[in-house]
Amino acid sequence: MSRDREIILDDETSAVLDAIAAAPDDPQAAFDAANLTRQEIEAGLQFLPPAQAAMVAEYLAALDNTQSMSPTVSTAGTLRDGFVYALRDLYDSEKQLTKALGKFAKAASSGELIAAFASHLEKTHGQIERLEQVFEMLGERVRGKHSEGIAGIIDEGKSVMEEDFDHATMDACLIAAGQRAEHYQIAAYGTLIAWSRALGLPEAAELLEETLEEEKAADTTLSKLADSGIIDAAAEMWQDPPDDSEEAEVSTKAKRAGQAAAAKKSARR
């Protein structure tokens, strides 16, 4: 890495520069390789020296021009075009969730909730691989389209994490954020399954159905966690809040239990 890159404080911004160097003539490939959202790339500009910031901004502009000149769905687009468009949105949403789930797990206090987020993060990597297989079946390049829908849901979750909630309430809010994401994806996968069948793509439908079942299972797990005591605990915290030292002790024990459960599950795999 060159000397001017060493002054960059933001790891994600550095990843953008490395990706651009690897694909100088293909902005979309560069950003896909960096596994970053458009918002993250733009936010990282502030950490760059002027010359490099200008280079990244130029790539963003080039990407905008490319997408405006060659939209995924034209005015005469077919259902297959719509399928690819939705597939790219869903691919990007899964990529965004690989980052969000880790942040949700770090913000949680319940051991079981931490383990649930960690488990679904692991499954998400497999879901991304299935989507890549569907792209290959269609003969389409594996590429995401920024998913505004999931980005908004994730942003809401991040806003919750910035609030000064007690630990039980934070867990309840994180469950709600996780379920919003699951419901978004359940709807998206259900649509693509119906379209793939209509288009005569049974193998694609089978792959998508496998992921849909995982999304439904994750949603069910979060519901059970909420009903198993997290919501009641949050209500009790409101009625009879503990002192700071007691709450901190409970949170520490729960986090350790969750990390141990996640590590044990990962070891078994």
- Please give the residue that has the higher pLDDT: either 19 or 161: 161
User: CA–CA distance from 51 to each of 14, 17, 46, 127 (Å)?
Assistant: 14, 12, 12, 38
Instruction: Indicate if the pLDDT at residue 230 is higher than 80.
Output: yes
Residue indicated by tokens 């679904």: 120
Domain residue ranges of the chain, discontinuous segments joined by +: 3-69, 79-268
Confidence of residue 107 (pLDDT cuts 50, 70, 90): very high
pLDDT of residue 234: 86
pLDDT of residue 233: 86
Q: Give me the mean pLDDT over the 97-120 stretch.
A: 95
pLDDT of residue 243: 60
pLDDT, tens digit (0-9, with 9 covering 90-100), for 235-261: 887 666 556 555 555 455 445 444 544
pLDDT band at 21, cuts 50/70/90? low
Mean pLDDT across 100-125: 95
Q: Which residue has the higher pLDDT, 28 or 95?
A: 95
Kindly report the average pLDDT of the chain as a whole number.
80
Q: Does domain 79-268 have CATH number 1.20.1260.10?
A: yes
pLDDT by residue (tens digit) across 134-191?
999 999 999 999 999 999 999 999 999 999 999 999 999 999 999 999 999 999 999 9
Alpha-carbon distance 134 to 131, whole Å? 5
User: Sorting pLDDT into bands at 50, 70 and 90, what band is 57?
Assistant: confident
Q: Tell me the range of 24-33, 37-46, 107-116 where mean pLDDT is highest.
A: 107-116
In this prediction, residue 38 has a pLDDT band, given cuts at 50, 70 and 90, of low
The answer to whether residues 112 and 227 touch, using CB atoms and an 8 Å cutoff, is no
Residue 62 has pLDDT above 70, yes or no: no
Give the mean pLDDT of 21-31: 61
CA proximity to 192, closest of 226, 175, 215: 215
